[in-house]
Amino acid sequence: MIRIENLTKTFSDFRAVDDISFDVPRGAFLVLVGPSGCGKSTMLRMLAGLELPSGGTVQFGDDVVSDGNRGWMIDPAKRNTGLVFQSYALWPHMTVAGNVDWPLKVAGLGKPERQARVSEVLRLLGIEALAARYPNEISGGQQQRVAIARMIAPRPGTLLFDEPLSNLDAKLRVEMRTELLRVHRATGATSVYVTHDQVEAMTMATHVAVLNGGKVEQFGTPEELVQNPATAFVATFVGTPPANLIPVSALPPDRAAGLPENAQAMYRPEDLTASATPGPNTLPTDFAEASPVAGRTMLTGTSGALRITAVVDSAPRLTVGDKVHFGLPGAPAALFTQNGERLS
């Protein structure tokens, strides 16, 4: 449904998006995830037609909608896309029903058809009782539902979300994730969702593009990213908690034997053990924190700049400043160079 080829966006001498290419299947839920400033929102704006690429192309189906090499793009209103902003951007002088009705009116639909469609999408989002209210009379979560209803009312082929849940509290974010996926399935549209929250990315996506410094570090399914990270950045960015990267030079001698001296060894948190006493193949750290996770304990220790996390069935009783010794399995799950490239 979406093909991005050599997409680039520069601002003066800064490359916000740097020569990115990938294909998004029809009906997919693609999440663009990465730290602040990695280029994900700029990419979404180019998909929406709000930014002209500096180079490369964006294609929806068989149609090229942006061509940075030739310096032209199709108007946003003609792309058959819907966009939900982080700020919701509802019209304050219109009721909930009026907000949803407006894009249908602009599209030239007759009043009976518009009324039927407004009622349909308000029911889909569970906000039909709010139809006569104004945005300042409803909660943030309800405003988000109105923004989504307004987006899907014209039946766009592509849904674009720019960090739509960042203004909501933690509980409501979880509820709205489920709601967004339900809307995605109900519409059959291809969705592109921007977030810096990797938990959102891994729980919602059929496909994930991990961005860093304007480039795609890895594109794939959530399972592929967790099980087979292509770079050290992906290994330490995705997963709950993410994988540990430990310099081979810091490993116990038996665990470092046979490994490249300048490499970084990846260990998954669930593969580590934790003890208050040292062992033959343990790594000593200063205890930092512990928290319960789904019947297990997530335990973290630090050693200088190194931070190690294990997920264990039974954790030792420790206070901040105590030593916690992490036991390492016989071999790392992966090896990376100092520059973050995968070795094995």
Spatial strand order in the sheet of 2-11:
14-24, 2-11, 55-60, 63-67, 72-73
Identify the CATH assignment for 2-236 out of 1.10.540.10, 3.40.50.300, 3.30.70.1400, 3.40.50.11540: 3.40.50.300
- Report, as an integer, the average pLDDT of 128-141: 93
pLDDT value of position 121: 93
- Give the start-to-end residue ranges of the domains of the chain: 2-236, 241-336
Q: Characterize 115-127 residue by residue with b for buried, 16 or more Cβ atoms within 10 angstroms of its Cβ, and e for exposed.
A: eebbeebbebbeb
H helix or E strand, kind and range, residue 247: strand 244-247
Q: Fold match between 2-236 and 241-336?
A: no
Both tokens of 188, joined, read 């059959």
Cα(284)–Cα(323) distance, integer angstroms: 7
Q: For residue 55, which of 95, 16, 27 has the smallest C-alpha distance?
A: 16
Predicted local distance difference test score (pLDDT) of residue 114: 94
Q: 16: pLDDT confidence band, cut at 50, 70 and 90? A: very high
Nearest to 327 by CA among 275, 288, 266, 292: 275
Kindly indicate the confidence band of residue 217, based on its pLDDT and cuts at 50, 70 and 90.
very high
- The model's pLDDT over 248-297, given as tens digits with 9 standing for 90+, comes to 999 999 999 999 999 999 999 999 999 999 988 999 999 999 999 888 99
Two tokens, residue 121: 């999408």
- Give me the percent of the chain exceeding a pLDDT of 90: 78
d(CA 222, CA 204): 9
* Tokens, residue 262: 């300048």
- β-strands 55-60, 63-67 pairing: antiparallel
pTM for this prediction: 0.88
User: What topology is assigned to 241-336 in CATH?
Assistant: OB fold (Dihydrolipoamide Acetyltransferase, E2P) (2.40.50)
